[in-house]
Amino acid sequence: MPIIIEEKTKVMIQGITGRFGQFIARNMLDTGTNLVAGVTPGRGGSKVWDVPVYNSVRDAWDAHGPINSTVILVPGPGAKLALVEAVNFKFDTILMEVERVPLHDALECVAMCRKAGIRLLGPGSAGLVSPGYGSLGVFGSPEELAKVAFIPGRVGVISRSGGQTSTLAFNVCSAGFGISTAIHIGTEQVMGTTLPEILPLFEADDGTDAIVYYGEIGGVMEEEASEIIKEKKFTKPFIGYIAGRGLPAGIRFSHASAIIEGGKGTAEGKVKALQECGAYVVEGPEDIGPTLQKILK
């Protein structure tokens, strides 16, 4: 089984009628997602790709609930208000596929979801895909990409970068394996769900044999994940690549959260922590496939 999304998972999109919303909706439908509703205030009664649109989350929930997941595509300054509306309902997962959410708004969103018992992916997460089951967000389509990077299989992908999520998945599939679930946990300074919180989900998934991971400098998620592995809360092979080695303190790399501060968050520290707990650390994404072949074949 995949993590977070299954064939029967009911999904809705907040902000479905905009150009980006329509694009994401088409992508999710193409991956087999059970997309039951969309929400855009003032556009109730219309349809996007034959998916009914409602004026509020309440209207969508009353018509199709309970709904398992919602995808928020509202631009950064309004994203918090969209989430405030959603946390009043018992969603399992909320994906905020929104970048540049104001920091204080992001902190409030994380706190609200934790209090409500809702898993928050993002802000700044491009989503996830479980090939053959469905997706939340952008991954898994078009068909040309799916055929080479999102083939169903038994290797999980976790990434700090949206683009590198597809790169890692491509390397996995090129090595003769396939993807159970590929997930982008987010690029912002504050994230609702972190690497150590995702690992137990893959541990419990009988359909995942190993994990590949793309990390960056900044933060201490990898160090925390190494403790999870040491404590045997995650026992499957873990193959990681950490980008940004050799950068000095204060230099931002790629994403807002990828910055070394106070001597913490260095690539060297992350590599050391992962190696000491028994994880495999590679020099580049191109080494992921050969390493998987050694481990799983």
Spatial CA neighbour of 277 closest among 215, 246, 235, 221: 235
**Residues ≥6 apart with Cβ < 8 Å to 216:** 160, 161, 242, 243, 244, 253, 254, 255, 257, 258
Query: Distance of alpha carbon 72 from its chain centroid, rounded?
Result: 13
pLDDT digits (tens, 9 = 90+) for 204-259: 999 999 999 999 888 889 999 999 999 999 999 999 999 876 655 555 555 544 44
pLDDT tens per residue, range 80-104? 999 999 999 999 999 999 888 899 9
- The reply to whether 255 belongs to the active site is yes
pLDDT at 99: 85
Check residue 258 and give its pLDDT: 47
Distances (CA, A) of 181 to 2, 33, 41, 133, 212: 6, 14, 32, 10, 11
The one catalytic residue among 64, 104, 184, 255 = 255
Token pair in block for residue 246: 């050799």
Q: DSSP of 163-189, one letter per residue? A: HHHHHHHHHHHHTT--EEEEEE---SS
Q: How far apart are CA 192 and CA 293, in angstroms?
A: 33
In the predicted structure, residue 263 carries a pLDDT above the cut 70 = no
pLDDT at 254: 54
pLDDT at 249: 54
Local confidence band at 264 (pLDDT 50, 70, 90 cut-offs): low
| Model pLDDT for residues 281-291, shown as the tens digit of each residue | 999 889 999 99
Q: Are 276 and 226 in contact (CB under 8 A)?
A: yes
191: nearest Cα among 84, 70, 101, 75: 101
- Residue 47: both structure tokens together: 């349809």
6: pLDDT confidence band, cut at 50, 70 and 90?
very high
- The β-bridge relationship of strands 10-14 and 34-39 is parallel
How would residue 23 be classed by pLDDT, with cut points 50, 70 and 90? very high
pLDDT at 262: 47
Please calculate the CA angle 278-121-291 and round it to the nearest 5 degrees: 30
pLDDT > 50? residue 15:
yes
**What is the mean predicted confidence (pLDDT) over 59-71?**
98
Q: What are the tens digits of pLDDT across the range 114-135? A: 999 999 999 999 999 999 999 9
Top-ranked range on mean pLDDT: pick from 192-196, 215-219, 269-273: 192-196
Q: Which of 42-56, 198-212, 258-272 has the lowest mean pLDDT?
A: 258-272
Please report the pLDDT score of residue 59 as a whole number: 98
